[in-house]
Structure 1
């Protein structure tokens, strides 16, 4: 591997000692920055138009180039060469101030690490020096790295100067935790969000560095490193440095990188996913255990399964336009999964894998959690998709593995199908006997805790969700099916999120998806539960007024009104105060609130 001989550049060792790749190939011009074209274009336009902000905020994940961009921006603001004397993003050839700024020794460019200098006294040093003009450069530039680490007092001390700095001063801030920076500071800065570098773009960058270093690394190995870097160029170069020492003088393969990172073989992960798709728990658990015994991290196996599910879903949604990175066999198998599984099944697998990843992180034995996840995932493949389950419950059909539903088109996916109940009665045709009819079970036999809409309202009342209960009691329902359907007449006064609240409440208590929709038409007058209750109360009141004793009392007390009608205790005996009946629940808080109105 070649050595860097440039003296002192970005901290390179002047004696020719080895310099890690992350330092050796640190960008020296804006053209070297990868994946940040939008930011560079904005900076170039601001220079051309003379609209240069006095404060800039750079944010992004670790290793995307925040500190490097800050130094490049300081060079650009103070760029001066034989042909150019003004701010410029074209930093080639090196300007008069460039070398000193790159080596962090220029008297007009101050770098401060807020992680180690967080107090108000550190900021006072900056505020005291701001009033003086630059010594050599065009601007005084203050670079504060990890600015979110400053104390509250330090931020407050900086605010006034940050709002109205002298014309010769520029501030450049960098942070990985933009949410921890006070909004009063953010509002005074021009913000740039540095993007994560795309894995494919990062792999190409690593390949170009390997060519410059004269080393051989397989394309698949570079792809694994780029994926593990998670969009960070510095992390990618550090991992490449580590990979290059795995086989000195020989080509580094994907298997070497997998061993180094503790990753599972992608082909074996695909075997596991295919076993899950077939519902073969034995094969899935065996493959997972074999990978674990070979050194694969259990949580990384789940992450790789998530990647496979994501690629299959993209291939399914985008079709031929989906770009799948990998060999021909890999692409063919992923597209095969996309054809085999339905969108609902892929979505369900994704959600279950996410849950399994969370459980594996908390479990005392992660591999046990992964194996239990395989059992659940394979068992889920024998269940119908959610939308099919709702239809089956509504139609009273049964679910049988491997049998197509009567009268339905064959499914393209290789998953269990339905066996519907007969639509017509089946008669016993023996001569001289009365036909015995076996009818299709009615819809009300669906195993649901809600057979009527009033059951739903009672359940909401038991949960003491007063606002939802009030909304449901005023709702005029035109159709209710315990199999998962509610149709109601829309009203302008109903809560905006009524459908979301009701759907979430029902689906938490039933094993199927609910369809809730509004309509503006009704063949007959519809009354809400509140309307019906008021009508029954009014009828009971009129019946009470016709009682001789009550009529006589009202006659002797002109202007008196009956405030409330309650039922007496049937087995109380003697003169007792009226209480609600034992089999009738006490009025819910929502009904009391409605009555008060």
Structure 2
């Protein structure tokens, strides 16, 4: 990579008495060309097409997480718009020369027509009013007057409102470049007036490659695994990763060696990945004492308990991805990929999902706990205990046959023998429940529902029925029931009321039977064990089935 690609993008600093002032890597290796931006190819292609077609927007909004290149991109756009080429005759270009006076002045932060403002410290309407007034005047020496406002979401409501009119109809010689990490805080009225670019998180493999180039440029040897660890810790931010690399190089210099993976782990307090795999193996084997001892060893080495659970979550996620068949991460060590493949063939998807949920719950508990290491131990014990439990679907399959069926609800004791075939119309129903069912089959649906939910039977001796007067039945219901039964059975029925409590309604009896069945299921050893393993689980109703004789 050339010096131009990895060049300085800051004002020159006076040398110290002992030589040139040290520049941290995050500033020293700031990108000087669009090609040097890592992982932002889509944005660069859009800008290139816009410049070639002379369709340059008057305002750009750059958003993304920290360290992905928002401010660097804004400066590059300023250079691209104002570059005049080495011979002074060039126009706007996606490849600024970096040699002409505008390019050098913008790179050093001293160009009079490129104004950078930090909205975090200039939030008020007065600051914006100064920009509005100055934007009326043409650029002094550049092609465009460019305003770069960093962390624009920090502007006050009044400042945003004051900017709207100028932002919508700016003078032709003015360009606005906004950068923010919290685009959701920018008013929609501002967003609608800007061309928005969402800068993506930089993939870990690209960061590792970039860090390797920087290490080589600095004359420092670095293990690929160490650079991969730094790239993961950076979480998509080139600036964060270079800061960590800077620290790792300083650490290596003290030891007189290169940047090693072990040193990076110690420096960041990361859990050793082989130790994590060993711990996961102990959990899957159900070795509770061994798992607790392994956790304590990492804790004694200074690894945060929450970090151990996070590493276990990453491992379970990696095994799941391997089982799904996704492409392997080239940044992973070979032994780790091999372990994931082996576990993927041994573990089922339900078990992997269960492990994920248990570890995620433990991770959240440790984050809030007053006793983190003890909470982590309890979380691992829960995993060990749950590992030996069968899948919930397997629990249902192991239940005794007929447990999930709903018994018939009648007001008479169940018959010792199976019920006879469906009776003819002339044969009277043997029970009130059978009578209601006969009415349902005969087309009297609403009437059958009213009887099942509201009628309490004191005596059933067909063709006479005595209902409880304690729960009155409407006179029209009795009359309709009498007429319906006469039509269904060719028999005159006598329905009366008596001031007596009577039996529960059919609906009440059915609900009581269902609750008794539910309690019986909860009392079964398999379900009790499942609820102990999953304290937040609950028994839900399954589809009711009728007994088939």
TM-score, reference length from structure 2: 0.73
| Structure 2 residue aligned with 1:302 | 309
Over residues 342-394 of structure 1, what are the superposed CA-to-partner deviations in whole Å (9 max), with x where a residue is unaligned? 1111122112222111111100121111111101111111122344334444x
| Structure 2 residue aligned with 1:444 | 404
Q: Does 1:276 align with 2:290?
A: no
Question: 5+ unaligned residues in a row in structure 1: which ranges?
Answer: 397-440, 446-450, 455-523, 549-566, 572-579, 585-597
Q: 1:212 aligns with which of 217, 233, 247?
A: 217
Over residues 243-269 of structure 1, what are the superposed CA-to-partner deviations in whole Å (9 max), with x where a residue is unaligned? 111121312211111110011111000
Shift of 1:50: 1.4
| Structure 2 residue aligned with 1:163 | 168
Distance in 2 of aligned mates of 1:120 and 1:257: 46
| Structure 1 residue aligned with 2:478 | 544
Name the CA shift for 1:116/1:525 in 2 (closer, same or farther; >3 Å): farther
| Structure 1 residue aligned with 2:533 | none
| Structure 2 residue aligned with 1:363 | 369
Judge conservation of contact 1:131–1:166 (CA < 8 Å) in 2: yes
Distance in 1 of aligned mates of 2:67 and 2:328: 29
Shift of 1:532: 5.7
Q: Secondary structure at the match of 1:144?
A: strand
Q: Secondary structure at the match of 1:442?
A: coil
Q: 1:120 aligns with which of 125, 131, 134?
A: 125
Q: Secondary structure at the match of 1:247?
A: helix
| Structure 2 residue aligned with 1:533 | 449
Q: Secondary structure at the match of 1:123?
A: helix
Over residues 403-452 of structure 1, what are the superposed CA-to-partner deviations in whole Å (9 max), with x where a residue is unaligned? xxxxxxxxxxxxxxxxxxxxxxxxxxxxxxxxxxxxxx42337xxxxx69
Shift of 1:528: 13
Q: 1:37 aligns with which of 38, 41, 54?
A: 41
Judge conservation of contact 1:7–1:13 (CA < 8 Å) in 2: no
Over residues 173-197 of structure 1, what are the superposed CA-to-partner deviations in whole Å (9 max), with x where a residue is unaligned? 0000111111111111111111111
Shift of 1:84: 5.8
Shift of 1:272: 0.8
Q: Does 1:70 align with 2:41?
A: no
TM-score, reference length from structure 1: 0.67
| Structure 2 residue aligned with 1:20 | 24
Distance in 2 of aligned mates of 1:244 and 1:453: 78
Judge conservation of contact 2:33–2:76 (CA < 8 Å) in 1: yes
Distance in 2 of aligned mates of 1:534 and 1:342: 50
Q: Does 1:375 align with 2:397?
A: no
| Structure 1 residue aligned with 2:394 | 388
Shift of 1:534: 5.3
Q: Does 1:352 align with 2:358?
A: yes
Q: Secondary structure at the match of 1:245?
A: helix
Shift of 1:14: 3.5
Q: What number of residue pairs does the alignment pair up?
A: 436
Judge conservation of contact 1:218–1:254 (CA < 8 Å) in 2: yes
Where do 1:39-438 residues align within 5 Å? 39-81=43-85, 82=87, 85-248=90-253, 249-318=256-325, 321-323=327-329, 325-393=331-399, 396=400
| Structure 2 residue aligned with 1:478 | none
Name the CA shift for 1:546/1:45 in 2 (closer, same or farther; >3 Å): closer
Question: 5+ unaligned residues in a row in structure 2: which ranges?
Answer: 410-439, 456-472, 483-496, 510-549
Q: Secondary structure at the match of 2:205?
A: helix
Larger RCO, structures 1/2 (Cα 8 Å, 6+ apart)? 2
Q: Which structure has the larger Rg?
A: 2
Judge conservation of contact 2:7–2:31 (CA < 8 Å) in 1: no
| Structure 2 residue aligned with 1:466 | none
Judge conservation of contact 1:202–1:226 (CA < 8 Å) in 2: yes
Name the CA shift for 1:201/1:8 in 2 (closer, same or farther; >3 Å): closer
Q: Secondary structure at the match of 1:272?
A: helix
RMSD: 3.4
Distance in 2 of aligned mates of 1:452 and 1:63: 66
Shift of 1:204: 0.8
Distance in 2 of aligned mates of 1:363 and 1:10: 45
Distance in 2 of aligned mates of 1:239 and 1:531: 78
| Structure 2 residue aligned with 1:503 | none
Q: Secondary structure at the match of 2:370?
A: coil
Judge conservation of contact 1:324–1:331 (CA < 8 Å) in 2: no
Distance in 2 of aligned mates of 1:145 and 1:307: 34
Distance in 1 of aligned mates of 2:7 and 2:53: 36
Distance in 1 of aligned mates of 2:163 and 2:270: 47
Name the CA shift for 1:7/1:392 in 2 (closer, same or farther; >3 Å): closer
Shift of 1:453: 13
Name the CA shift for 1:60/1:7 in 2 (closer, same or farther; >3 Å): closer
Over residues 218-274 of structure 1, what are the superposed CA-to-partner deviations in whole Å (9 max), with x where a residue is unaligned? 111111111111110000000011111112131221111111001111100001111
| Structure 1 residue aligned with 2:544 | none
Shift of 1:167: 1.2
Q: Secondary structure at the match of 2:226?
A: helix
